[in-house]
Amino acid sequence: MSDLVAGALLLVGAVLSLTAGIGLLRFPTLLSRLHLGAKPQVIGMVLTLVAVGLRTDAPLDIGILALTGLFQLVTGPVAAHMIGRGAYRSGLVRRDLLLTDELADDLADDRGQESS
Partner 1 sequence: MTTVVIVCGALLAVAAALTVVRLIAGPTLLDRAVALDVLIAITVVGIGLEAAYNQHTTTLPILLAVSLVGFVGSVAVARFAIRRPDE
Q: Which amino acid is located at 62 in the chain? A: I
Q: Closest Cα to residue 9, out of 70, 55, 62? A: 55
1 binds partner 1 (CB under 8 A): no
Question: How many whole angstroms separate alpha carbon 22 and alpha carbon 25?
Answer: 5
For 61, 72, 113, the CA distances from 108, given in Å and listed in that order, are 51, 34, 9
Distance in Å, CB of 67 to partner 1, minimum: 6
Is there binding between residue 87 and partner 1 (CB under 8 A)? yes
Q: Is 58 in the site for partner 1 (CB under 8 A)?
A: yes
Q: Which of 5, 39, 59, 90 binds partner 1 (CB under 8 A)?
A: 90
Residue 31: closest CA among 105, 98, 100:
98
What is the spatial distance between Cα 25 and Cα 3, in angstroms, rounded to a whole number? 33
Site string for partner 1, 4-23 (x = CB under 8 A): --xx--xx-xxx-xx-xxx-
Binding site for partner 1 (CB under 8 A): 3, 6-7, 10-11, 13-15, 17-18, 20-22, 24-25, 30, 33-34, 36-37, 41-42, 44-45, 48-49, 51-52, 54-56, 58, 61, 64-65, 67-69, 71-72, 75-76, 78-79, 82-83, 85-87, 89-92
